[in-house]
Amino acid sequence: MNAFNTLPIENPTFANENSLPIAVKDIFCEVGIRTTASSKMLENFVPPYESTVTENMKKAGFVSFGKTNMDEFAMGWSGENSAFGPAKNPWDPTRIPGWSSSGSAVAVAAGLVPAALGTDTGGSIRQPASMCGIVGFKPTYGRNSRYGVMAMASSLDTPGYFTRTVRDAGLLYEATAAHDSRDSTSLTEKVSIDESIWNRTDLKWVRIGVPKEYFIEGIDSGVRSAIDNAIAKIREMWAEVIDISLPHTEHGVSVYYTVCPAEVASNLARYDGIRFGTLSGNGNNIVENRSEGLGSEIQRRSLVGSYVLSSGFYDAYYKKATAVRELIRNDFTNAFTQVDVIVTPTAPTVAWKIGSKWADPLALYLEDIFTLPASLAGVPGLTVPVWYATPKDDSSVDLPVGMQILGPILWEEKILMVGHVLEQAMKEVVDSKKPKVF
């Protein structure tokens, strides 16, 4: 499945027979363990320091099993954009597994590990979780420290988890989330989950919003049907389902692909082969070092980011995008005065064939349409597998579909409760099929 990148993986040392192995996206620094961000630029980088998330994970008794493949520097939509080759979906190895935390999703879906760490900047946990038929959890921005995580877009990057169950995601969340003085965006609120939420079997008194903007032309009919079935099941469990509107959703893609490249241009300027990264054979030629060491998508976003931040264009693009981002954030704030959580499709399609969309970046950007707004707003999001859909290009296979559950900032407990109840209700359907790897 190429879940792990092609670099040699250090032999894991299990602390004791009860230690639980966790796969780690190749963007979390671990002392003495090669960490490459799946880039040629960092193919020989061995960090001298530990990320806060992996440090907390190990203190809680978990063991780092190995580094997982990913889109280079977390920039990509499909797991194809790695210097070490693409990750492959265990449901159909000819298909992509989803966004940049691809190897982590594959490792869990294929049964290689019970859980894995990932990062979610615009959907890189939620989308691959949906396409691989597992649970993906992005906490509120700032809940997990970004210290020791190679930065892509600093106002968006959010460490999170891939697991087989919602309860496991909650367990990892409690183990790693905490205030960290080394991260200026780290939240100070105490992290705790009431164990009674795992005993809920219905959604009585829970107000669940369904935004009309997430059911648009272009969503696959199979995905639409799967989500409709899941919403029907939610109604059966006594939830109050309310139609709502998030009116600025349509601007999410354009805002994200203005703000994100701007931050990429700033964060990745350090990888020039002189300060960080591998020197090319041409010595101190920064342009050649970057063109040889960084892939095409990194170069594309860096160029776009430099453009929108440049004199004469900053006000027209970046400043305007940040203003619209605030409108998107306000949409969620207003919606959560009416409902407790929001449910949507996680992605408009199921997993597509490797290489089938690679030549069309715009089409790939549009695959993010349902996950980007929540990232821009910083709200927590959970993806739970709910059904299957037949892809348009092959009627002989059914592929997993995930439902996205979004909640207000710091309301992780609420979305975990709703996700757990939904997971139990859909268990028979979800367990009726297994990945081809089995």
Q: Where are the domains of the chain?
A: 20-430
Look at strands 62-68 and 20-25 and give their pairing: parallel
- Using CA atoms, how far residue 131 sits from 77, 125, 182, in Å, is 12, 10, 34
Say how far apart CA 261 and CA 327 lie, in whole Å: 20
Chain-centroid distance of CA 317 in Å reads: 26
Which pLDDT score is estimated for 436? 79
Specify whether 25 is catalytic: yes
Specify whether 100 is catalytic: yes
DSSP 262-295: HHHHHHGGGBSSSSBS---TTSS-HHHHHHHHS-
CATH class of 20-430: alpha beta
Say how far apart CA 9 and CA 6 lie, in whole Å: 8
Which pLDDT score is estimated for 11? 40
Say how far apart CA 201 and CA 319 lie, in whole Å: 46
Which pLDDT score is estimated for 14? 36
Selecting among 51, 64, 82, 100, the annotated active-site residue is 100
Selecting among 64, 124, 186, 302, the annotated active-site residue is 124
pLDDT per residue over 40-90, tens digit each?
A: 999 989 999 999 999 999 999 999 999 999 999 999 878 899 999 999 999
CB proximity list for 319: less than 8 A, separation 6 or greater: none
Q: Kindly report the average pLDDT of the chain as a whole number.
A: 92
Say if CB 277 and CB 271 are below 8 A apart. Answer: yes
pLDDT per residue over 270-321, tens digit each?
A: 887 777 776 665 556 666 667 778 888 899 999 999 999 998 899 999 999 9
Say if CB 81 and CB 87 are below 8 A apart. Answer: no
pLDDT-flagged residues of the chain (< 70): 1, 4-18, 278-289, 438
Specify whether 155 is catalytic: no
Query: Which of the 8 DSSP states describes residue 121?
Result: S
